[in-house]
Structure 1
Amino acid sequence: MKGHFHEPDLDKEFFPGFIKDGLPHNLFFSDFANGYFAIDRLMFVRILMTVLLALFFVLAMRKPQIVPKGLQNVGEIALDFVRLHVAEEILGKKEGRRFLPVLATIFFLVLAGNLPSVIPGLNVSPNARVGMPLTLAILSYVVFIYAGAKKHGFFHFVKASVVIPGLPGWLYPLVILIEAFSTFVLRPVTLTIRLMANMLAGHLILVLLFAATNFFVWQLNAWTLLGGATLIAGMAFSLFELLVIFLQAYIFALLTAVYIELSLHADEH
């Protein structure tokens, strides 16, 4: 077989756009309005998936019927999943319905941001870069602090979250430091890193598998059979990535619900 090996170009596909020597690199719309609206490929994918997500729910819920069908049925099934298996399962019916809008927003934004990693032509999740995971983690952070402060008062909530009653006095300085770091620092950090690292790792593995297929088939003709093996492995991992896409959205929303629940019952530490 004759052909040319196309090595993966992570600079154009993944890393943010930038200006160097006065010239734009990896940026769209850099010539429009002096570059104020310039975006890179990942930001374009993020905006595209957000618009498609909003469009889906607008079309699904524009004329709701008592007996749903078509897009409305799909939309209601998706919303019911978040309501039943995330919000109400962790928070109960009353608080679950109260916080359902934010939990559903987080779930569907993460899901929509993860999906491009297996969509041909897009091939990368914008959640593999820190911006969106950090934004959603901050949203989760603000919501669970709001929930605790609203119910207990801010200072009582903070005290109840970091002070464990019944400990020997000499342990309190150490335990308060650990609890404060775990509650108010570690939670948003782990939410951010978990989502970003999983989607980045999945993207890199898919790049390596399909780049290996390209290399074995076009560069090393004698290894074409091995190229078939890496192609099958890449397709199998793509199916596994679909599971990861869903699980990461579910875990992010579920942990947000758990943090809200802990805030609401901070006085039962």
Structure 2
Amino acid sequence: MIILSVILIVWFFKAAIKNPKLVPGKTQFLAESAYGFVRNGIGRDIIGEKNFRPWVPLLFATFFFVLLNNLFGAIPFLQLPSFSHAGSAYAMALIIYGTWIAVGVKNHGIRYFKLAVVPSGVPGWIMPLMVPLEIISNFIVRPLTHSLRLMATMLAGHMIVMLAATGARHLIVVQDSLAMNGVGVLVIVGSVAMYFLELLIMVLQAFVFALLTAIYIQGALDADAH
């Protein structure tokens, strides 16, 4: 499914810009709007006008890769979000983790690690408490939450929809009680509502993942302001 997502993303955007027109058609308009959303709404707004351009490809690829793999959970017959598997989410978070650390070291040298864990303007007497907390927060908790937030929401939503569908089938097909059959119908109605809520969460989680990526890169670029 991950390989399929790469193929579909490349195919869609290549098809959208194959014959670009000054007045775009629906496909070109959709592709340009999607690109503009990531470029301006995430890249420029978070990283800043001065530094955002080199990072647009990464943010663009990250957003749509996570989005499509999330949406697989809402497609019949596939119906499994790739990032409901912890390994997939860990791999994505590890790529971003390595990227923003490399950015920090490239821009500030080895001094970056000091800048990342020693807050400016904090009294010296509180540093023995703050520095370990900053180390844990920035280099341990940050990548874990970046991955687990995505994995947990995708897994939870998938499980809820599947349990609702299984429970509705049991109540309608297996149970002989008319009341239980009625409850099964209500469960189906509720599961449809959950399905659309899950669609919203899939999109939001892709946005949050890309947004945090931009925030981490921005922090690495401007570590002196920490």
Q: Which runs of 4+ in 1 moved over 6 A?
A: none
Mapping for residues 63-78 of structure 1, pairs under 5 Å: 63-78=19-34
The aligned counterpart of 1:267 is: 224
| TM-score, scaled to structure 1 | 0.79
Match for 1:224 among 177, 181, 184? Answer: 181
The alpha carbon displacement at 1:90 in A equals: 0.6
Match of 1:162 among 117, 126, 146: 117
Correspondence for 1:190 among 134, 138, 145? 145
Cα distance in 2 between the residues matched to 1:228 and 1:71: 38
Match status 1:243 vs 2:200: yes
Aligned alpha-carbon RMSD (Å): 1.4
1:163, distance to aligned residue in structure 2 (A) = 1.2
Equivalent-residue separation in structure 2 for 1:81 and 1:132 (angstroms)? 25
Task: Give, in angstroms, the shift of residue 157 of structure 1.
Answer: 1.0
Distance 1:147 1:103 in 2: 15
Q: 1:138 aligns with which of 81, 94, 107?
A: 94
Distance in structure 2 (CA, Å) of the matches to 1:166 and 1:111: 39
Does residue 119 (structure 1) correspond to residue 75 (structure 2)? The answer is yes
Going from structure 1 to structure 2, the CA distance change for 1:224 and 1:249 (only over 3 Å counts) comes to same
In terms of fraction of residues, the more helix-rich structure is 2
How far apart are 1:98 and its partner, in Å?
Answer: 1.7
Question: Which secondary structure state, in structure 2, belongs to the residue aligned with residue 93 of structure 1?
Answer: coil
Code of the residue aligned with 1:217 in structure 2: it is: I
The one-letter code sitting in structure 2 at the alignment partner of 1:61 is: I
Give unpaired runs (5+ residues) of structure 2: none
Tell me: CA distance 1:166–1:46, structure 2 relative to 1, closer, same or farther (3 Å).
Answer: closer
Structure 2 SS opposite 1:251: helix
Larger radius of gyration: 1
Task: Flag the structure with more relative contact order, 1 or 2, with Cα contacts below 8 A and sequence separation at least 6.
Answer: 2
Q: Secondary structure at the match of 2:63?
A: helix
Shift of 1:216: 0.6
**Number of equivalenced pairs:** 224
Equivalent in 205, 221, 230 of residue 160 of structure 2: 205
Listed as ranges, the gaps of 5+ residues in structure 1 are: 1-44
Question: In percent, how many aligned pairs have the same letter?
Answer: 38
Q: Distance in 1 between matches of 2:13 and 2:183?
A: 44
- Match of 1:66, SS state, is coil
Tell me the alpha carbon deviations over residues 95-151 of structure 1, each in whole angstroms, 9 at most, x when there is no partner.
222211111111001101100111111111011001221121112112212222222
In 1, distance between residues paired with 2:27 and 2:102? 34
TM-score by length of 2: 0.94
